[in-house]
Amino acid sequence: MLRASNAILCGVTFLICTSVTFGQRADILPEALRVQTKLVKSKFQLGEPVLFSVIISNVGTQPFLIPNRITFFDDAQGVLSAKLKSLSGNPLTGRGMASDCLDYKPTKLLYETVLNEYLLLRPGTSYVQQVSLGGLYNDLRPGMYLLEASYSAGFYLLGCQRWIEEDIEHFPLPAWHGTAAANGVSFTILPSTKKR
């Protein structure tokens, strides 16, 4: 296990050094990232968690950083926005969260922080995380639903801190930032089978 950790650290160090040695980093195009959603199954029992996978793929030609965690709320650098509609097209209201800071504290960009919060996604590879609609849409009734989602990511600190702009400009590894729409998926909540 220690050998694998050392190999990963050496690989990241090599990428950092080669980026610095061979000149400025190129900007990452928004279309270099593709997001897909895939349901665990298409039918769920009433009250059962609706689980699906979010698959983030690098379809570009160069490696880039992405957040190593996705949430529905603003407590991570990777945020999944979800819209749920009934079969008739009526949108359902989910739970939300809002936060804001009046003042941001300038903070030095440290490699350790980036390695803890982000991962390097090489061309042709994907990051997969399983997500539940549980905290966002509770008490779904029997019926068919359409889930539409988009993924947003940025290269920043959480909380009321902000990296120094010059540090970001000189950081050797590029990060993907922006918003990408995912494919829509439909699922069914089955009626309760309990006998009265």
DSSP string, 60-108: SSS-EEEES-EESSSSSSEEEEEEEEETTSPBPP--------SS-EEE-
Residues 140, 50 contacting (CB under 8 angstroms): yes
Domain that holds residue 121: 28-190
Here the tokens at position 2 are 């220690």
- In this structure, the number of other CB atoms found within 10 A of the CB of residue 176 comes to 24
Provide the pLDDT for residue 75.
61
Is 101 within the bounds of a domain? yes
State how many domains the chain has. 1
Is 195 within the bounds of a domain? no
Residues 117, 67 contacting (CB under 8 angstroms): yes
Report pTM. 0.76
Is 113 within the bounds of a domain? yes
Is 13 within the bounds of a domain? no
Provide the pLDDT for residue 161.
66
Provide the pLDDT for residue 126.
97
Provide the pLDDT for residue 96.
57
Provide the pLDDT for residue 109.
72
Is 142 within the bounds of a domain? yes
Is 2 within the bounds of a domain? no
Residue 155 belongs to domain with CATH number: 2.60.40.2970
Is 57 within the bounds of a domain? yes
**Tens place of pLDDT per residue across the chain (196 aa):** 545 555 554 454 444 444 433 333 457 888 999 999 999 999 999 989 999 999 999 999 999 999 888 888 666 778 888 999 998 888 887 765 555 666 667 777 777 878 888 899 999 999 999 999 987 887 899 999 999 999 998 777 666 666 767 777 778 788 888 899 999 999 999 998 766 5
Count of all residues that appear for the chain in the document: 196
Provide the pLDDT for residue 154.
78
Is 160 within the bounds of a domain? yes
